Amino acid sequence: MTNENRLITPALSRRQFLMGAGALALAGAAGVTGLSASGKLVRASDDMENMDDIAKRQWVLVFDLRLCDGCKECVVACQKEHYHPKETQWLKVREMKGPLGQHYFMPRTCQQCENAPCVKVCPTRATYKTPDGVTLVDQEKCIGCRMCMAACPYEAREFNWNDPPPVPSTLPAPRPEFPVPGKKGTVGKCEFCLHNTRMGKLPACVEACTMRAAWIGEINSDIAVNPDDRVKLSELLKANDAFRFKEELNTRPRTYYIPGHGQHFQY
């Protein structure tokens, strides 16, 4: 499925999601996350004057560990979306063992930390935070020192050791929100599919999850969506005892996990 066709359907239209996220309710934001006043589709990064509007949305990912069956369709979708070689995985699904001996699967990707160690150590400022809370890597500034990889406690970054596979000529030029093709000698990582998310589309991993274990959420509008459902983000997290990975490190991740109360773990 192409990027152009990946809209939030059928249960929640792109317009409904954007309105729920507060994007279309503001005239200034209309050109940021979808349609401009003229009806032209634009990217958020096309107009730096709209950074204040971008900041009105604060993205999070939620993974329901009770539902994840370890199929790795999300991994395949991420690699396909970003034209990764087989050895590059921005999203990994790890088999875990709980304190009571139960086995479960845990998708692991960039946690999009608010207090991100990788940002602090980057000597060229190639790694930076966006106004909507996502950490990106500018391939044009990255010198491949891998200090960010050493600083990341989540092992969420991948070094591009080789030249990237060929990509369609119809793709736009690489940019931090969609660094395709990857650049040899630089570091890459999950970017919450901002090239889709800011346009009202689902991240590749959320759309591909057949178990509906993945959600994209927006804090300010208190909404979380997947291809079939729309819920209040705060209720989803609170009612299901959601936690953040290695939260004791005070990195303040923007990725949440739902373990439930133990009664629905897949043993």
pLDDT, tens digit, 9 for 90 and up, residues 121-144: 999 999 999 999 999 999 999 999
State how far the Cα of 12 lies from the Cα of 104, in Å rounded to an integer: 29
pLDDT band of residue 208 (cuts 50, 70, 90) is very high
Query: Would you say residue 4 has pLDDT above 70?
Result: no
Mean pLDDT of 85-113: 92
State how far the Cα of 23 lies from the Cα of 187, in Å rounded to an integer: 31
161 near 149, Cβ under 8 Å? no
Domain ranges of the chain: 57-258
Average pLDDT score over the chain = 84
Least trusted range by pLDDT, from 36-45, 153-162, 254-263 = 36-45
Mean pLDDT of 234-239: 96
State how far the Cα of 92 lies from the Cα of 69, in Å rounded to an integer: 13
State how far the Cα of 104 lies from the Cα of 210, in Å rounded to an integer: 17
State how far the Cα of 231 lies from the Cα of 65, in Å rounded to an integer: 17
Could you report the per-residue pLDDT of 13-51, keeping only the tens digit for each?
444 554 444 433 222 333 333 323 333 333 444 444 578
- What is the SS3 assignment for the chain? CCHHHCCCCCCCCHHHHHHHCCCCCCHHHCCCCCECCCCCECCHHHCHHHHHHHCCCCEEEEEECCCCCCCCHHHHHHHHHHCCCCCCCCCEEEEEECCCCCEEEEEECCCCCCCCHHHHHCCCCCEEECCCCCEEECCCCCCCCCHHHHHCCCCCCEECCCCCCCCCCCCCCCECCECCCCCCCCEECCCCCHHHHCCCCCCHHHHHCCCCCEEEEECCCCEEEECCEEEEHHHHHHHCCCECCCHHHCCCCCEEEECCCCCCCCC
14 near 5, Cβ under 8 Å? no
pLDDT at res. 147: 98
**Residues 6+ away with beta carbon under 8 Å from 173:** none
Least trusted range by pLDDT, from 49-53, 91-95, 112-116, 154-158 = 49-53
Mean pLDDT of 233-248: 96
The CATH number for 57-258, chosen from 1.10.1060.10, 2.60.40.10, 3.30.413.10, 3.30.70.20, is 3.30.70.20
Pairwise pLDDT comparison (1 vs 189), residue with the higher score: 189
State how far the Cα of 172 lies from the Cα of 51, in Å rounded to an integer: 21
122 near 136, Cβ under 8 Å? no
Mean pLDDT of 103-125: 97
pLDDT at res. 27: 27
Least trusted range by pLDDT, from 33-37, 144-148, 163-167, 223-227 = 33-37
Residue whose C-alpha is closest to residue 266's, from 63, 72, 98, 76: 98
Mean pLDDT of 76-93: 96
> How many percent of the chain have pLDDT more than 70?
79
